[in-house]
């Protein structure tokens, strides 16, 4: 998966980095556990990227803080975003104290509290929407479908960032489609359940977004790629988990 994104979208000049001193590789801070299934994908992709670049037995330097997702999910659906921001802000400070040079929040939805977490620390944070939008722009995608939780699809913290900062028109499914996507994410994907029927429903929704005029579809929840892959459809998919992780690898290897 990682190689595919390097070849097709990212085009990072990792060959120029092969001879970097190992000590110069930055430490990646990760706020994970939302859910741990997708955090596992982050961990794998990041380590594969470092190994592909540096070879041998090299792996990523990572400081990971994994939260209890049950607590976060309950607060999300209660609308208590202030409390979720407090939890993630404290976790981010712990990661910074542990020696991380920069940070990624390993979930799309919790970028709703990105501004609060950013203010809580003195290290840079890579925004997942920015990492995705830069690749969309490189590929001349101007109108994209967006799948994710209801929070991500409906609220302006994510789609507004794509539209206002990157001039990318964002399309989302209708009310029924949004309900299907949201429920499958929380009831199935976040608990590690992969069902063929749910895949077919997702693929139908993706086709519907293409019918609306989407040039590509953003998998705007870090669990969706556990269910749907590019090989399942000829609609161009942008996996935010892979793109975010790849951006972290790039920053970890790049000269300060």
Q: Active-site positions?
A: 107, 221
- Nearest-angstrom CA–CA distance, 188 and 174: 21
- Residue 128 · residue 111 · CB < 8 Å: yes
Closest C-alpha to 218, from 150, 155, 151, 129: 129
- Nearest-angstrom CA–CA distance, 167 and 136: 11
How distant is the alpha carbon of residue 230 from its chain centre? 16
**Alpha-carbon separation of residue 87 from 83, 113, 184, 192, 229 (angstroms):** 6, 10, 25, 24, 32
- Nearest-angstrom CA–CA distance, 166 and 160: 9
| Cis preceding-peptide flag for 201 (omega within 30 of 0) | no
Local structure of 172: helix, strand or coil: coil
Closest C-alpha to 157, from 118, 183, 206, 122: 118
- Nearest-angstrom CA–CA distance, 250 and 173: 33
């Amino acid at each position: 998966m990682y190689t595919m994104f390097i070849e097709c979208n990212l085009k990072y000049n990792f060959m120029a980095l092969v001879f970097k001193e190992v000590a110069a590789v930055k430490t990646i801070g990760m706020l994970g556990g939302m859910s741990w299934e997708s955090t596992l994908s982050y961990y794998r992709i990041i380590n594969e990227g470092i190994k592909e670049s540096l070879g041998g037995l090299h792996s990523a330097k990572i400081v990971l803080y994994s939260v209890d997702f049950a607590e976060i999910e309950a607060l999300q659906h209660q609308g208590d975003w202030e409390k979720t921001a407090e939890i993630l802000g404290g976790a981010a400070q712990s990661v910074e104290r542990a020696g991380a040079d920069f940070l990624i929040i390993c979930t799309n939805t919790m970028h709703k509290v990105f501004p609060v977490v950013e203010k809580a620390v003195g290290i840079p944070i890579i925004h997942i929407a920015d990492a995705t939008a830069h690749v969309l722009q490189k590929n001349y995608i101007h109108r994209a479908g967006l799948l994710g939780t209801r929070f991500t699809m409906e609220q302006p913290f994510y789609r507004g960032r794509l539209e206002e900062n990157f001039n990318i028109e964002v399309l989302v499914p209708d009310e029924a489609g949004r309900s299907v996507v949201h429920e499958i994410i929380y009831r199935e994907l976040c608990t590690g359940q992969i069902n063929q029927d749910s895949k077919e429903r997702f693929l139908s929704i993706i086709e519907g977004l293409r019918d609306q005029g989407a040039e590509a579809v953003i998998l705007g929840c870090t669990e969706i790629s556990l269910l749907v892959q590019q090989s399942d459809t000829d609609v161009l998919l942008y996996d935010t988990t892979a793109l975010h992780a790849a951006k972290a690898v790039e920053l970890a290897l790049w000269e300060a």
